[in-house]
Structure 1
């Protein structure tokens, strides 16, 4: 059912997105090696390194990755039966989600030592931060705002595209006052205004998927990272052998 809903969404996006909303077609500025065995669920850039989470039961990890080589410098396993999902940094901690377990974890950012766990209703898909809140996706058309200290929900953002709810919101990144969200099982990244929840534009990464030779239907685009200091935007996908730098969205 989840796959059918996503496929229907993909069909809806194809004719609808160009009608009223701008589309940026992502072109690579640079490309970097990426572990083709990484079923990417979360990605962010911090202090010259990528932090990446991978999914699948028994294969879920959280990793510190060298950007230039793709070499995994440090890794911790998310124990079965948990299916690892999104991650975000807050202070000296890394916060992680699991898909259907209703449980997340706190880790030390330096060393990935487990500090504890927390609980939430429904599914966990992705995390990012606007500097005040953590922002969580759960596969629906609603993003949750969380208090970074207590991880309690403090608000919600209803996401719409051309007036219709937009579900399947997956990996997230906060970039220049917008929330970027991979739309699961499509090649589109939605640019979301957090004040209104309205999609203000799209980034089409289908050309990057082709360059990565990601023909497997499960090898969908997933993974967005922002280097704010150098204004570099990175994207990848599940089991992609490449990670790409692309231009940030325009205004």
Structure 2
């Protein structure tokens, strides 16, 4: 019996060994030996057959999507861009195996350039280290940062008057916020947790933890899903039921993968994201991750009171009825209502 068990386990080990040694049998070869491509590129592809085995079928996939082969080429017509794994499913002789190759799929077009025009200027608390900004109806919600100074509050944006507020524990650094249905959601920076509040009175109702993302930066929502930036190239898609990370997109241009998305705002299929430490904002397609536009907010910081704690542009909120954007910065004494204009 012991000999029989040993034989079975040995066969199992050898079978697993064959599967894990697929790279010794085959390799995916791409035209020009490139690793970076653009969406909808047609790319020559072939399988290097290292052992001259009899291959009966090869299929290529990215993100579970079959990529048909025509004239020896696959078309990278995938929805979500960024770091990808090209999988070749190979049927050979009486067996089959999957082999992979890591590639980057970037946006087809370069981002368009936008500028701004100021419509109105309103007062803003210059002690606020603004991390999150969002309208719900005509009420402006703001989340601020710094340990010992982090708050969540409702504002009358026209006067800057605080209507309601709640202090965060002095041990955490507050980050982005979003308002969905009857709840306000708020992140913390490096504590690995976020908070859920009742929208009407800002009472805290729940705490949630992060998944694979290590930090909390910005939040926004499309009415159904919540989007979360974390300081990497990824924008996570969260379930509003339990805030679990169910998917993600990666922010890319036509030249590279970009990792500077900070505070977020969702408008008509696009995510507007402050670029960390820059006086600019990205316009990101919420489905693909393509950075379709860059808004230059240069000169806006010079229009606020200059003082020692003055920091960068951060905070973007869209007012659906007015159809304008509201922007401010960390420790800025003004809130600007602006139109965004293609340059």
Alignment size in residue pairs: 232
Q: TM-score, normalised by structure 2?
A: 0.65
Deviations 1:168-201 (A, max 9, x none): 2100001122100001100110000112111111
Structure 1 residue 245 corresponds to structure 2 residue 341: no
Aligned equivalents of 1:203, 1:109: Cα separation in 2: 31
Show the counterpart of 1:33: 123
Aligned residues of 1:180 and 1:189 also touching (Cα < 8 A): yes
Q: Give structure 2 stretches of 5+ with no counterpart.
A: 1-108
Q: Give structure 1 stretches of 5+ with no counterpart.
A: 1-18
| More RCO (CA 8 Å, sep 6+) | 1
Q: Which has the larger radius of gyration?
A: 2
3-state SS, counterpart of residue 302 of structure 2: helix
Structure 1 residue 219 corresponds to structure 2 residue 311: yes
Show the counterpart of 1:73: 163
Superposed displacement of residue 205, structure 1: 1.0
Show the counterpart of 2:320: 228
Structure 1 residue 100 corresponds to structure 2 residue 223: no
Q: TM-score, normalised by structure 1?
A: 0.88
Aligned residues of 1:27 and 1:207 also touching (Cα < 8 A): no
The two structures, once aligned, show a CA RMSD in angstroms of: 1.6
2:232 to 136, 140, 160: 140
Superposed displacement of residue 218, structure 1: 6.0
1:195 to 283, 287, 292: 287
2:143 to 40, 53, 66: 53
Show the counterpart of 1:14: none
Decide whether aligned partners of structure 1 residues 72 and 131 sit closer, same or farther in structure 2, where only a CA change above 3 A counts. Answer: same
Question: After TM superposition, what 4+ stretches of structure 1 lie above 6 angstroms from structure 2?
Answer: none
Aligned equivalents of 2:307, 2:111: Cα separation in 1: 28
Say which structure is richer in strand.
2
